[in-house]
Amino acid sequence: MRRTRVALLLAAAAATFATACSPPGPTSSPPPSLPPAPTAPVGANGQPIANLCDLLSSQDFTAVTGDTATAPDTSKATAASATCEYGKGLRLVVNVNASEDEATLAFEQASKKLTAPENGTMAGVDQSASGTTSGNLGLVVRRRLLVYTIEIPSSVAEGKFKLIQLSGMLLERAHALGT
């Protein structure tokens, strides 16, 4: 019994000694400091937009669709709405609405212009629909207060995919526009 007590005492002393001599555990490093997310919309060049037509450039339409696009007339574009014609069948209509209800109504009205609309075309947005409109392929999207329609000629191969590409570019540049 005495040997058991001595063995326990020695084991406890060894454990205490090992704990006191062990190096300190890992320390937590401070969280990385990231710059704040940009909130102002930017154009294709990464600079703040002058008007809503800058959310997509003529180069974007040309690169994605293969059709020749030109810079749109922006004389009637405002901070809340714009209709941008980039060439035959290449069109962007953008609206920043005052409320969610107005945005939902604007989306519904724009969707009514589509023939046989397919709802839920694009993920990651509040509402989307695609279909044909006036002989073109069209995609209508609502993200919070931002509602836009992109049109390309129906002759463009893989048109729905290309509409989604253009829409992704626009959303990437819009940042917090319409939130």
Taking only the tens place, the pLDDT of each residue in 97-126 is 999 999 999 999 999 999 989 999 999 999
Residue 4 has pLDDT above 70, yes or no: no
Question: Could you give the number of structural domains in the chain?
Answer: 1
User: Domain for residue 134, yes or no?
Assistant: yes
Which CATH number belongs to the domain containing residue 90 in this structure? Answer: 3.40.1000
Taking only the tens place, the pLDDT of each residue in 6-38 is 555 556 666 665 555 555 656 666 666 655 555
pLDDT mean across residues, the chain: 87
Residues 6+ apart with CB under 8 A from 145: 96, 97, 98, 99, 100, 102, 103, 178, 179
Domain residue limits at 161: 52-174
